Amino acid sequence: MQSRYFNTLEKKAFLGFLIVIGMVMVFDRIVMPFYISLGSTKIVPDVTGRRFEDASRELGQEGFNAVKSYNIKYLSGIDSTLVLSQSPAAGTEVKPGRNIYLVVNKREVPSFPMPDLLGKLEFDARNAITRLDMNVLSVESAPVSDPELDGKVLAQSIPADATVHTGDSVSITTGRYEVPVLAEQRISVPDVLGMSLYQAQQEITGAGLVSGKVTYEPSGMLVPNTVISQKPSAGTGMAYGQPVELTVAKP
């Protein structure tokens, strides 16, 4: 008995769905064309890429009403006065007096707390900044006596948890470990970040150093076997034949 009751409800729901679909089709294909055919119609002009005030003025001269709406997501570097899109689209035939919805960029620049970059490798710090649609203004290096701090962020121009906005710039300072050797024995470690493992090893051995331990780490952004970090960092003075350790993207 209960099963028959639910079957009846399902049939009624399905029938109601068909009726709604039919009404939409009738409205779209019969009612609207008939309505448009009554009296004069106009073609919607293309106002995308223009300032909202100018676009609104032009639409008003054509007998339309401009209605401002805002894009769902803030677009960095896009003027909030420019029309990004319009509805109905340009070239659409509509009745005079129709509302034309013009989409512009949000005025409010998104804000969020500055992440803590201290102790991160330069590569990871850059990625964290880029993911927030921020910019790396500069990267400076400072000598460190602890090899564990080599290539890691020691300071950031904007402190952690400070309020920042999309498009802001931040500078970072990374550690540079220098092996204590005599000045005349020093060899400057080459910069091999972003190279393939083979190219990096050629650069290192060509400079008079040795390719040391190679560590593989997963990376969704880099081509496999691309150098992610090096120890010691580029520019460090080392003795002839000393090893340079590399971390590369996992194949």
CB neighbour list of residue 15: distance below 8 Å, 6 or more residues apart: none
Looking at the chain, which runs of residues are DSSP E strands?
A: 42-43, 65-70, 83-87, 93-94, 99-104, 111-113, 135-144, 153-156, 163-165, 169-177, 186-188, 210-217, 227-231, 237-239, 243-249
Regarding beta strands 83-87 and 42-43, do their DSSP bridges make them parallel or antiparallel, or are they unpaired? unpaired
Question: What confidence tier does 166 reach under pLDDT thresholds 50, 70, 90?
Answer: confident
Q: Which residue has the tokens 């676009």?
A: 55
- pLDDT at position 5: 46
Tens-place pLDDT, residues 194-214: 999 999 999 999 999 999 999
pLDDT band at 118 (very low <50, low <70, confident <90, very high): very high
The fraction of the chain above a pLDDT of 90, given in percent, is: 52
133 versus 17: the higher-pLDDT residue is: 133
Count the alpha carbons within 13 Å of 206 in the hemisphere toward its beta carbon.
Answer: 9
pLDDT (tens digit, 9 = 90+) per residue, 54-74? 999 999 998 999 998 888 777
90 contacts 108 by C-beta, under 8 angstroms = no
Rounded mean pLDDT of 223-231?
92
**105 within 8 A of 80, measured Cβ to Cβ:** yes
Question: Residue 219, class by beta-carbon neighbours within 10 Å (0-12 exposed, 13-18 middle, 19+ buried)?
Answer: middle
pLDDT, one tens digit per residue, over 77-96 is: 778 888 989 999 999 988 88
In tens, the pLDDT along 1-47 reads: 444 544 565 666 567 667 767 775 766 566 566 555 555 788 999 99
Instruction: Measure the CA–CA gap between 202 and 231, rounded to whole angstroms.
Output: 16
Average pLDDT over residues 223-246: 91
What pLDDT is stored for residue 3 in this prediction? Answer: 47
Percent of the chain at pLDDT > 70 equals 82
- Give the pLDDT of residue 16: 66
In angstroms, the CA 26 to CA 23 distance is 5
Query: How far is residue 207's CA from residue 239's CA, in Å, rounded to a whole number?
Result: 11
Please give the domain boundaries of the chain with CATH numbers for all domains: 35-108 (3.30.10.20), 109-177 (3.30.10.20), 183-251 (3.30.10.20)
Between 77 and 105, residue with greater pLDDT: 105
- What pLDDT is recorded for position 115? 95
Residue 187 tokens, joined: 């060899």
pLDDT confidence bin for 174, thresholds 50/70/90: very high
Give the global pTM. 0.40
Q: Identify the pLDDT of residue 113.
A: 93
Residue 101 has pLDDT above 90, yes or no: yes
Segment holding 14, helix H or strand E = helix 2-26
The pLDDT value given to residue 33: 60
